[in-house]
Amino acid sequence: MARALILDCDGVLANTERDGHLVAFNHMFDELDLPFHWTESEYAELVKIGGGKERLASVLSPEVARTLGITDPAAAVASWHRRKTDIYLELLRDGTITARPGVRRLVEEALEAGLRIAVASTSAELSVLSVLRHAIEPSLARHVRVFAGDIVPHKKPAPDIYAYALRALFVPSHEAVIIEDSGIGCKAACGVGVPPIITPSSYTGDDDFTGAALVVSDLGEPDSPATLLSNPRNLPFRGIVDIPLVTAIASCMQ
């Protein structure tokens, strides 16, 4: 039996990378007069790095830091990231970022079935909480545990965030189902012994999803079914990710 449903945030709850994070990073660069501007193709590579601060640090080489007169790169990255997060939250409040299909429906079904539900992400906790409330509304979000930010030492593709979530939920890996959207997220889930459901997002369609239990276009709605992309375990997929499907995936891990 499945006892827990754990969802990633960015790309699973909403297409936040394309419509939110990239926009916010570039706005922050312009506002602070920094010599960076990430194109969509550049950002498609950067999303393979888990964590916004880590993405910023990847472009702030020692040479670039010297050119900009930065003596404490870690402090600069932290400051940039705080401002970027503020801009990102403004985008959420403005309704720029919309929830992906089937997210609210599945959370409601999981709550009714008595599953423990969590969002596990290495994005900033405030950003994750805001996306969650936006995607499923505050009345449902208060029933969802959130594990986010720098609570683990290593970010995806390391499995730390999922190992942390499983311990906190008191659920063994074979009784949990994880939903991810990226190759690094897939590796993180597989690292705790949970073959995830994958719903690729804007920048992850070409990622390596080796080990996934199922790959579908989205979680689906009864009147707008998802497209099946890969079903290596021959699971009973009928157009939507629902509790019977979640239960079938957990049963495969017994």
CA gap 65, 44 in Å, rounded? 24
Instruction: Tell me, yes or no, if 8 is annotated catalytic.
Output: yes
Cα separation, 253 vs 234, in Å, equals 14
β-pairing verdict for 145-147 and 116-120: parallel
**SS3 state at 249:** helix
Catalytic position from the list 8, 160, 207, 218: 8
Among residues 10, 181, 207, 242, which one is catalytic? 10
Contacts within 8 Å (CB) and 24+ apart, 205-208: 207/182, 207/183, 208/183
Strand-pair category, 214-216 with 197-198: parallel
- Nearest alpha carbon to residue 184 among 206, 207, 205: 207
Q: Which of 5, 4, 8, 6 has the alpha carbon at shortest distance from 185?
A: 8
Query: Which residues touch 35 (CB under 8 Å, ≥6 apart)?
Result: 29, 68
CA distances to 7, 14, 154, 187, 229 from 157, rounded to whole Å, are 15, 20, 8, 5, 22
Active site members: 8, 10
